[in-house]
Amino acid sequence: MPDSASDGTEPVTDGTDPVTDDLDPATDGAPDRRDDGVVVDRVGKTYDGSGSPVRALDEVSFAVDRGEFVCLVGPSGCGKTTLFRIIAGLADATDGEVRLGGAPVTGPTTDMGVVFQEYHLFPWLTVEENVGFGLDRVDLPETDRNARVAEMLELVGLSEFRDTYPKSLSGGMKQRVAIARALAVDPALLLMDEPFGAVDAQTREMLQRELLDVWQSTGKTVLFVTHDVAEAVTLADRIVVMAAEPGRVREVIDVDIDRPRERGDPAFGEHVARVRDLIGAGR
């Protein structure tokens, strides 16, 4: 697949670059002006196959401010999941680096809470025990630990289900448990990979509203991967749109619509159309 420089389209048409405009020219382009959040700095990933090497990600750079909600979207094959795993410390980049709070990410850390599409709940543990599981890695007195779990259950509206096992929960409730567990360790960054992809449309919209409530009440930094453009426009302060083959940042869009956002709002539809056009051009 040709990249954006050779397929007749331009990544940005207003004379600005969505990535380099965020960089500090005094540091030769290194995006460290936002190091109190998360910085993806020229990340690349090459797979050595049986034939020639495959470049999955190339020079991916963007930053997420502290307390900001950013969504990552792109066409199939653009490397969203690979990039997510690198940011989470679950995979290594071939080149470039990810920084959280100014420090390089070298592996999984309690500074990040991770939520996947699959709930990954332990069926033999209750809701309360699942939420508290991650706290086993944190040095907390038992009273503080119990208070933290209770706080997270209250935050996601599951206090009355504390003694319930996952098999008795709906899909939406299971994902709320997963979110509470991720937040229990008080991470600097909440990473979410298609977290609502396995639930029905009505539950999905409910979870989106609840997630925004949680985000606004906690002030967490959120990076949210989705294939649903309307979901991205509903949730995000900014949307990072990727192109494919190799995966790269095509454009970063500010979603300048007041919350709560209504899908019938013309501005909402305009943002959705713009992102879809960019995704289509980046295949």
> Is 232 inside any structural domain?
yes
The per-residue pLDDT for 263 is 94
Find the range with the poorest average confidence among 44-53, 164-173, 207-216. 44-53
Per the DSSP assignment, residues forming a β-bridge with 63 are: 39
- Report the CATH number at residue 276: 3.40.50
Which residue type sits at 126? T
The per-residue pLDDT for 9 is 37
Range of the domain at 91: 1-65+73-108+228-283
> Could you give the maximum distance between any two Cα atoms of the chain, in Å?
62
* Per-position b or e across 245-261, b if 16+ CB within 10 A of its CB: bbbbbbbbbebeeeeeb
Per the DSSP assignment, residues forming a β-bridge with 41 are: 97
* 110 alpha carbon, distance to own chain's centre: 16
**Phi, psi for 50 (deg, rounded to 5):** -70, -25
pLDDT in tens, 87-133: 999 999 999 999 999 999 999 998 999 999 888 899 999 999 999 99
Long-range contacts of 28-32 (CB under 8 A, 24+ apart): 31/61, 31/62, 31/63, 32/99, 32/102
Categorize the per-residue pLDDT at 10 as very low, low, confident or very high, splitting at 50, 70 and 90.
very low
> Is 59 inside any structural domain?
yes
> Is 242 inside any structural domain?
yes
> What tokens were used for 173?
């409730």
Rounded Cα–Cα distance for residues 193 and 173 (Å)? 17
**Of the candidates 66, 105, 102, 101, which has an alpha carbon nearest to the alpha carbon of residue 220?**
66
Angle value at C-alpha 201, between 262 and 83, nearest 5 degrees: 90
Q: Taking a C-beta distance cutoff of 8 angstroms, is the pair 25, 13 a contact?
A: no
pLDDT in tens, 227-271: 999 999 999 999 999 999 999 999 999 999 999 999 999 999 999
Above pLDDT 70, what percent of the chain?
A: 87
> Is 202 inside any structural domain?
no
> Is 17 inside any structural domain?
yes
What is the total count of domains within the chain? 1
Which residue type sits at 22? D
Categorize the per-residue pLDDT at 34 as very low, low, confident or very high, splitting at 50, 70 and 90.
very low
Categorize the per-residue pLDDT at 134 as very low, low, confident or very high, splitting at 50, 70 and 90.
confident
> Is 39 inside any structural domain?
yes
> Is 41 inside any structural domain?
yes
Per-chain mean pLDDT for the chain: 87
Cis preceding-peptide flag for 260 (omega within 30 of 0): yes
Predicted TM-score (pTM) of this structure: 0.85
Q: Taking a C-beta distance cutoff of 8 angstroms, is the pair 220, 189 a contact?
A: yes
> Is 53 inside any structural domain?
yes
